[in-house]
Structure 1
Amino acid sequence: MQTSKNKTIATFFAIILVSSMFMSIIPTITAYNTATQEAIDEGMNWDLDRDASSTRLLMWERYRDEVPTWVYAVITPNPVGVGQRFTMVLFNPQVPVGASEGNDVRYQYHVIVTKPDGSTVRLPSSGTFVSDSTGTTFCDYTPDVTGNYSVMVVFEELYWRWSDSSTLRNYYGVTLLSSNRTYTVTVQEDPVYPTAITHYPLPTEYWSRPIEGQNDAWGVISSNWLNNCMDRDNTSGQNRFQTQGIAPNSGHILWTKPTEDGGVIGGDDFYSRPGEVFNAGHQYQTRFTNQIIMHGRLIYQEPITWSGSGGDYVCVDLKTGEEVWRNKTMSANPSFGYYYDFDDMNQHGVVPPGMLFSNNFGTAIHPRYGTTIPLNIIEVPSGTEVIGPKGEILRYVLRNDGTSSNPNWNLYQWNSSRVFTSQTSGTRNASLDSMLSQATTYSAPTIPTWDWKTPVNFRPAGNPSIRAAIYNDVILVSNGSFPAAGTSSLYYHNAEETTITAISLKEGQCGRVLWSKNYQMTFPDGTQKIFIRAGEGVFVMQHMPSLTFIGYDMYTGNELWRSEPQADFNPFGYFSWVSLMNVHATSIAYGKLFTAGYTGAVWCYDLKNGSLLWRQEAPTGGEIFKYYTVMVGTIADNKIYIGTHEHSADTPLLKGAKIRVYDVETGEEIWSMLGWAHPQTMAIADGTLIYWNNYDHQVYSVGKGPSSTSVSIANDVVPFGSSVMIKGNVIDVSPGTKQSQQALRFPNGVPAVSDESQSAWMEYVYMQKPRPTNATGVTVELYVLDSNNNYRPIGTTTADADGFFSYNWMPDIEGKFTVYARFEGSESYWPSHATTAFNVDPAPATPAPQPTQEPSAADLYFIPAVIGLFVAIIVVGLLIIFMLRKRE
């Protein structure tokens, strides 16, 4: 009995349990309102557990859930040439309801092209063209024979299945019926050339910001210096490489601006050294090392007293030096500029006006006004930076998300554009964990376009550090003791070896360990290797103290090459390596490794095979130091710009230090000019070089400047057959020539001189050096528009070192002449021209010759007789006077 009872109870509970399970899988039946239920009963497609909206009911009442559609195409060009592509923009004028970037509400299309012979081509060959959120898409086709083509564009039938929002539910269950439209495209033998403006030419005259928006081709000559991983830290720290725009081919100075008192103090024997100068804080109080250039404006901090910083933040026009703003109470120090090229459904282009940020995105600052923006970004992770394809800053972070005993290493790509795009206020949490809700977790080898994390299958000993990163390519990771230039010193007790690991960032391989190797860093003979930098698929170490550079393949870890020991050239170069080799003395660009330093030479090696391509020396001609110290300032426009640096330079500073500019391919010197330019003060943007000169504590702006030409003729009306003297001047009218010192010294203007004379001339104008005795002026071309309306050249002349030119010319016809004097410009100056006029009158008529008259009888006899009588009278008078004086 008990058993039977237990079975009954068990059966009862089983029935209840099964019933519960059964009820849980039966859809909840909702009692619809009357309107919805009636529509469903009539056949409306509706299975959602809520009432249909009035809009949805209207769609049923009006269309019975089958909505007619229209489709259109805009086809250009039409007619079109055979072999020439034409484009089709496909659209339904009714945009997809509720479509956004965050969903997949889209239309679909295909196209049928019927050729003149009746054969057809389907576009695409399979599948469909999917629209954007506006319901529009495009495709193209290239006809291969002449004739009339029939193009039918088809809108694919669409059953509306989206229900995530009330807007989308308004159409839920509705079918948008297929529709089509046919067009004729005429294909002819000759191609059709567009007449629309594709671009405007590059400037041939002086230009400045802003650049009018239609001049998009000017992007190749304009640039910014954001002082971030785009330029200052390109590929690796302090690899100062400007990849955009152009750079100056001449030492022409646009303007100078002091940051503090500098140069000679004055006095002969009062100070410890005659002609003593102000200290420039060469090593630890360096000035002007955090310059930023955005939209033609240079932003920097002035020094204050002993410190190299702490003064006002100043913004000046890059081309003129004119002050734009000054902030004496900046709450945070601007560290870098930021431009992000933001695209969404409603707008495209860089978010204006860009941003200035303090270190690690701490404080946002308006670059045009210098005021703080209330955008608060917090918890930004540390990591190795690269620049993304739209200006976003990407940081690679290795993090152990497990424990030391059970590690779980993941590689993260942090993306600034995921934190903010166009926001200018509010607080944004930028931590890795907060961003994971926006990012996607990927397992190797899959990689997305933007933010991700991926597991890394390695177990480093200790905490690994990312040493270099190349976007979408590879990162280098080290762990253990890792001697690196700028971070380590040469000690006999340094670690014997270090481990370097390469991790792929390539699509399809992201997170995969490519290789991991141990490298010997300290040797039994006491020599050592240090890591220098990496880029373009090669990482470089240096063997000390021989100053031998060693290149390694970033994808295999294998040694590629070894240079000759630079210590054999000048062992003094040894002193470069401890802190300067990475910061000032090496750079990677254009497939080359550039090295410099206390060797007193700039060396250029092929990055792939280590062959020495060229070497440029900088001899002093002195008795103690054979060579000047040369340091890499920046690289741009296939040129390398060299400055100098000393750890603790004696004063007065060694004379003769120069800014030197070399062609990266040949090593040929393009120009050089006196100046002690600290390499970290160099920046290039908009074709202009900026640097700070230790000799006088001034900011120098170097670039092509404006010129002014004048022309005149003193005697502007001459008779035919006479020559005219054409005279004029060519003057440098750069902003610096209007500075008080230059304006007072050159009241008639600073003459424009040739490129060959430019550097020495600038030293004379701006650095108080002796006036060059061999300076030459610029070439002036002379043209006339004559009285027959013919425009023709009449000669070429060269101005002298005062900017004065003259030219004597004999007009060959009568009438009015307009004279055009044109300076075509140079690497130093933009062109300029001037006009004047003169008139050539007809030559004066020659007087007609008078007939010669025969002498008359009076002429033959009377006139001589009268003359004789006068002579006789004069003689008698003289005799009487003589006799009277004798009696006395």
Structure 2
Amino acid sequence: MLKKNKYEGMIKLKKINHKLIVLAAIVILTLSSVAVLPLAFAQGTWPSFPVLSVIPDEAAVGQEVLLSYGITPQTAWPQSGWTGLTISVTAPDGSTETLGPYNTDTTGLGGAVYIPTMAGTYKFVCNFPAQEVEVAVAGLEEGTTLSGSHTPEIELIVTEGGARNYFPDTPLPDEYWVRPIDAQNREWYTISGSWLDTTYIQASYNRFAPFNDGPETGHILWEMVQDVGGLAGGDRGWNSFEDGDAYEGKWGNPMVIAGTLIGRRYVRGTTTTYAVNVRTGEMMWERVLGDDIGLELAPAFGQVFYWTTMNNHGCYAYLWATQGNTWHAFDPLTGRWEYTMENVPRGSRVHGPNGEIMVYSFDMDEGTMSVWNTTAAYYDWQLFLEGDDPQAVYHAGRWRPIGQTFDAQYGTTVTASFPTNLIGSVEVVIPLDKVIGSNMEWAGGAAVQNPQIWAVDLRPGHEGDVIFNKAWPLPEAGVHYDFPGSHPFSVKHDLFIITGKETRRHYAISMSTGNQLWATTAFEPYNNAYSNVYFQYWGQSVCYEDILITAGFGGVATGYNLDDGSMRWQYEAGNEYGEFLFGNDWSIPTGFTSDGKGYFFHTEHSAIDPKPRGAPAICIDLDNGGEVWRIDGLRLGTRWGGQPIIADSVILGFSTYDNTIVALGKGPSQLTVTTPQVVGKGQPVQVSGTVMDASPGTKDPEATLRFPNGVPAISDADMSEWMLYVYKQRPKPESAMGVTVKIEAVDPEMNYMNLGTTTSDVNGNYGFSFKPEKEGTYTIMATFEGSGAFYGSSETTYVTVGGVSSGTPIEPEEPIAGFLTTEVVILLAVVVAAIIGIGAYWMLKRK
């Protein structure tokens, strides 16, 4: 048999490649000759080739379909597209209709929605009317006419029923999640909100924080030291390090921008800014903000906005620092300077519908107003730079401000006038809707004499129109009336709130008429008089869905129905040991509301030292006022050092007990399971393992020194005391319970077995036993399904059941009597030695 030449295949391949090279050369030469032909066809009339797609091509009655229409050549700016296209539709019953006329964009394409009304086959035809090329493009000279034409019929099959086959939703995570979030997990927007602004801005005070999965326990994810803190020790006795209150707050104006916590390291001197990953506690960067442009700046507010133009669609995130009317934008991920705007107008700063920052400016004396926004500032500045360039709109649509410093005056999009008889100042700005104002000023808390309230329209096309301007009849003389600290309002219920300081009563005023709708009558603590309208942080009242929530220095939170002002519930923050010297209840301003829950944190103007022990952080069910959880001794609220915030479903706050930043939220867990590898049939199998807290804070050196075997996962009911033990070094709650572990199995015949449940102990260990009945290998599955504090975890192991129980003695085989006697052993040894000697002799002889 002849062997095949191993190079034969390679030779054939080389021959084929040679032919391909020759063909390619011919093609290239041909194309080269084409390339030297004129790029533009001569003027005249040229055929057109319209296109049409129906997406999807099968649908049910009443379901939307997309008609994608157009023509193959694009247009060049400033010709914005082709015009006058129509779509002829023939229904299954033979009736016809014409849709349009439609225009395309510069790509030559456009889209329209169509909803079929009957079952059967629809037929669509796109009609393109003859028109001129206004700007030379795609080889067509200016003035060239594209002839009218139409597409072939495109069919749509419509059925009576059946749901559209949409891309399946991504369920919310049942495991611990981190950023970046894959863009395909669209549904996760509901749990990943940012906290962009803590400084005071009308109508955007962030006391209502949607887009979070509000923590259901006080479980701590991680801690970070902000400054030297806690008990000073030694001869300083009970005294602790100062916490910044009053006036020297250590954590002022924190914010979270797309999962990045931005904070300041120092109160005075060099202003160092840092960024921390909210979900991991990892320090991302720390630097002097603006050092790359020769400045030393402090963070002011954040922004996440959506930009969409013909070629650019997506969100941008910025950290802003301000110097008067100059705004500097920085990358929150790195702290790098991005761009600067000068001459930004002063006024009420709010966030627009796409996240653009808007500034409403009102001159009450002149009766003029203006509206400015960040995106228009860049876009219109870019248009100004390019003047009459026909490509200006295209260029401005590209978001390229990086490295630029420009005049922000181009961002003013609206100017309007209003009557000059409106007295007072702006109180609430609801962007693109209305502005509420009054003459009720703080004035040291003096009684209001002649209150006047007014509203001006901000809807596009109606800016400056007066909605109402009227006197508000005083409910009671000698009382200071004002807007509460967070200026609560409800668009849904068409009202805003005014509060009486001394009476601790709240009044709902219609945003459409200025008429009083209702007044509360429930008793609120006298100490609330010191906080209802004083200090924005203390007098925070929030309209959440159908409830008005008030709380403050009096230590009682109250929920009122927004329909009529009737009291829905009250919650008292009891001061059991009298540590707080100014009331029987701890002062608890509203921190924020989210996910149907209200979060309240003890706050003082300037706490005495030694500090009062046991200051609470509290979560309340806003539906009924019931306590969800409470930690006495966490204390996250400070008047000057930064209020607690929530973002990415994590609560972040500054604890004055030890000057640390604390992150609370639902954490990861880690479960292990072990069994013996082999047991005898009928022998019990011991299933054991651990369930541990796998949160980032448990990996810190301080935690691993105290918990070398890990931090146990503990029940929700015992979580508050357990967190104080783990992170605040309080006594260990020995009676604390662990979590429920479910034990399952699959027997050797692949039958599922639900064996039962057990509970881990205070050290994180669990145990469970069962007796297998069949021989073979069992799969053992242990599962912690999760809790309010933890996401679940699971693990598997295997045990083999033998044919004989290990408890049954094995009978030895009957020995052969006298077989290995001493004489036999000696004889065998002599034989072996002789064999070795003979072998050695022959080896030597060969040499």
Paired residue for 2:128? Answer: 155
Structure 2 CA distance for aligned equivalents of residues 636 and 196 of structure 1:
30
2:568 pairs, out of 589, 602, 613, with 613
Over 3 Å counting, the alpha-carbon distance change for 1:642 and 1:847 in structure 2 is closer
Q: Which moved more, 1:138-147 or 1:642-651?
A: 138-147
2:794 pairs, out of 828, 833, 852, with 833
Query: What are the superposed Cα offsets for residues 622-650 of structure 1, whole Å, 9 maximum, x if unpaired?
Result: 45531111111122222211111112221
Structure 2 CA distance for aligned equivalents of residues 115 and 92 of structure 1:
24
Task: Indicate yes or no: 2:507 matched with 1:550.
Answer: yes
Task: Indicate yes or no: 2:275 matched with 1:315.
Answer: yes
Q: Which moved more, 1:528-537 or 1:170-179?
A: 170-179
AA aligned to 1:135 is: G
- How much does 1:736 deviate? 0.9
Q: Is the 8 A contact 1:598 1:629 kept in 2?
A: yes
Paired residue for 2:50? Answer: 71
AA aligned to 2:358 is: L
Task: Indicate yes or no: 2:227 matched with 1:260.
Answer: yes
Structure 2 CA distance for aligned equivalents of residues 753 and 262 of structure 1:
28
AA aligned to 1:298 is: L
Secondary structure of 2:704 counterpart:
helix
Q: Which moved more, 1:821-830 or 1:184-193?
A: 184-193
2:610 pairs, out of 652, 666, 676, with 652
2:287 pairs, out of 317, 321, 327, with 327
Q: Is the 8 A contact 2:743 2:756 kept in 1?
A: yes
Gaps of 5+ in 2: 1-36, 291-295, 379-398, 812-847
Over 3 Å counting, the alpha-carbon distance change for 1:344 and 1:749 in structure 2 is same
Alignment of 1:264-303 (within 5 A): 264-267=231-234, 270-271=235-236, 274-303=237-266
Task: Indicate yes or no: 2:518 matched with 1:518.
Answer: no
Structure 2 CA distance for aligned equivalents of residues 693 and 848 of structure 1:
66
Structure 2 CA distance for aligned equivalents of residues 76 and 264 of structure 1:
68
Task: Indicate yes or no: 2:501 matched with 1:501.
Answer: no
Over 3 Å counting, the alpha-carbon distance change for 1:581 and 1:377 in structure 2 is closer
Alignment of 1:449-848 (within 5 A): 451-460=413-422, 465-479=425-439, 482-484=440-442, 488-491=443-446, 496-519=449-472, 526-532=478-484, 533-536=487-490, 537-564=494-521, 566=523, 569-577=524-532, 579-580=534-535, 583-622=538-577, 625-674=583-632, 675-678=634-637, 680-713=642-675, 715-843=676-804
Task: Indicate yes or no: 2:351 matched with 1:384.
Answer: no
Structure 1 CA distance for aligned equivalents of residues 152 and 331 of structure 2:
53
Query: What are the superposed Cα offsets for residues 68-94 of structure 1, whole Å, 9 maximum, x if unpaired?
Result: 211111112224344444322112111
- How much does 1:195 deviate? 5.3
- How much does 1:470 deviate? 1.0
Q: Is the 8 A contact 1:823 1:831 kept in 2?
A: yes
Query: What are the superposed Cα offsets for residues 778-829 of structure 1, whole Å, 9 maximum, x if unpaired?
Result: 1111121221123332221111111111111011211011211111111211
Paired residue for 1:423? Answer: 401
Q: Which moved more, 1:326-335 or 1:381-390?
A: 326-335
Structure 2 CA distance for aligned equivalents of residues 654 and 112 of structure 1:
78
Secondary structure of 1:354 counterpart:
strand
Q: Is the 8 A contact 2:262 2:273 kept in 1?
A: yes
Structure 2 CA distance for aligned equivalents of residues 591 and 376 of structure 1:
41
- How much does 1:328 deviate? 4.3
Secondary structure of 1:293 counterpart:
strand
Task: Indicate yes or no: 2:73 matched with 1:94.
Answer: yes
Query: What are the superposed Cα offsets for residues 372-414 of structure 1, whole Å, 9 maximum, x if unpaired?
Result: 33x22111111112211111011111237xxx7xx5x222111
Over 3 Å counting, the alpha-carbon distance change for 1:85 and 1:391 in structure 2 is closer
Query: What are the superposed Cα offsets for residues 403-461 of structure 1, whole Å, 9 maximum, x if unpaired?
Result: x7xx5x22211111111254112222123xx445xxxxxxxxxxxxxx32222234345
Over 3 Å counting, the alpha-carbon distance change for 1:227 and 1:361 in structure 2 is farther
Q: Which moved more, 1:415-424 or 1:104-113?
A: 104-113
Task: Indicate yes or no: 2:249 matched with 1:249.
Answer: no
Structure 1 CA distance for aligned equivalents of residues 93 and 206 of structure 2:
61
Over 3 Å counting, the alpha-carbon distance change for 1:144 and 1:814 in structure 2 is same
Over 3 Å counting, the alpha-carbon distance change for 1:234 and 1:689 in structure 2 is farther
Alignment of 1:26-175 (within 5 A): 58-60=41-43, 64=44, 66-99=45-78, 104-124=80-100, 128-159=101-132, 162=134, 172-175=142-145
Q: Which moved more, 1:167-176 or 1:756-765?
A: 167-176
Count of matched residue positions in the alignment of Structure 1 and Structure 2:
736
- How much does 1:730 deviate? 0.3
Paired residue for 1:347? Answer: 312
Secondary structure of 2:698 counterpart:
helix
Over 3 Å counting, the alpha-carbon distance change for 1:213 and 1:759 in structure 2 is same
Over 3 Å counting, the alpha-carbon distance change for 1:239 and 1:200 in structure 2 is closer
Structure 2 CA distance for aligned equivalents of residues 117 and 311 of structure 1:
74
Over 3 Å counting, the alpha-carbon distance change for 1:545 and 1:148 in structure 2 is closer
Q: Is the 8 A contact 1:723 1:809 kept in 2?
A: yes
AA aligned to 1:763 is: L
AA aligned to 2:405 is: T
Paired residue for 1:14? Answer: none
Paired residue for 2:322? Answer: 358
- How much does 1:185 deviate? 2.1
For normalisation by structure 1, the TM-score amounts to 0.78
- How much does 1:295 deviate? 2.8
Q: Is the 8 A contact 2:257 2:304 kept in 1?
A: no
Structure 1 CA distance for aligned equivalents of residues 59 and 644 of structure 2:
52
Structure 2 CA distance for aligned equivalents of residues 318 and 136 of structure 1:
43
Structure 2 CA distance for aligned equivalents of residues 57 and 300 of structure 1:
59
Secondary structure of 2:376 counterpart:
helix
Q: Is the 8 A contact 1:688 1:701 kept in 2?
A: yes
Q: Is the 8 A contact 2:40 2:138 kept in 1?
A: no
Structure 2 CA distance for aligned equivalents of residues 361 and 240 of structure 1:
28
Q: Is the 8 A contact 2:547 2:562 kept in 1?
A: yes
AA aligned to 1:263 is: G
Q: Which moved more, 1:512-521 or 1:414-423?
A: 512-521
Over 3 Å counting, the alpha-carbon distance change for 1:847 and 1:733 in structure 2 is closer
Gaps of 5+ in 1: 1-53, 437-450, 850-888
Q: Is the 8 A contact 2:348 2:429 kept in 1?
A: yes
Secondary structure of 2:800 counterpart:
strand
Query: What are the superposed Cα offsets for residues 316-355 of structure 1, whole Å, 9 maximum, x if unpaired?
Result: 121222211111465211111122211111110113x534
Secondary structure of 1:580 counterpart:
coil
- How much does 1:186 deviate? 5.0
Paired residue for 2:362? Answer: 398
Over 3 Å counting, the alpha-carbon distance change for 1:361 and 1:819 in structure 2 is farther
CA RMSD of aligned residues (A): 2.9
- How much does 1:621 deviate? 2.4
Over 3 Å counting, the alpha-carbon distance change for 1:610 and 1:336 in structure 2 is same
AA aligned to 1:528 is: H
2:197 pairs, out of 223, 227, 243, with 227
Secondary structure of 2:731 counterpart:
coil
Secondary structure of 1:91 counterpart:
strand
Structure 2 CA distance for aligned equivalents of residues 651 and 810 of structure 1:
61
Secondary structure of 1:340 counterpart:
strand
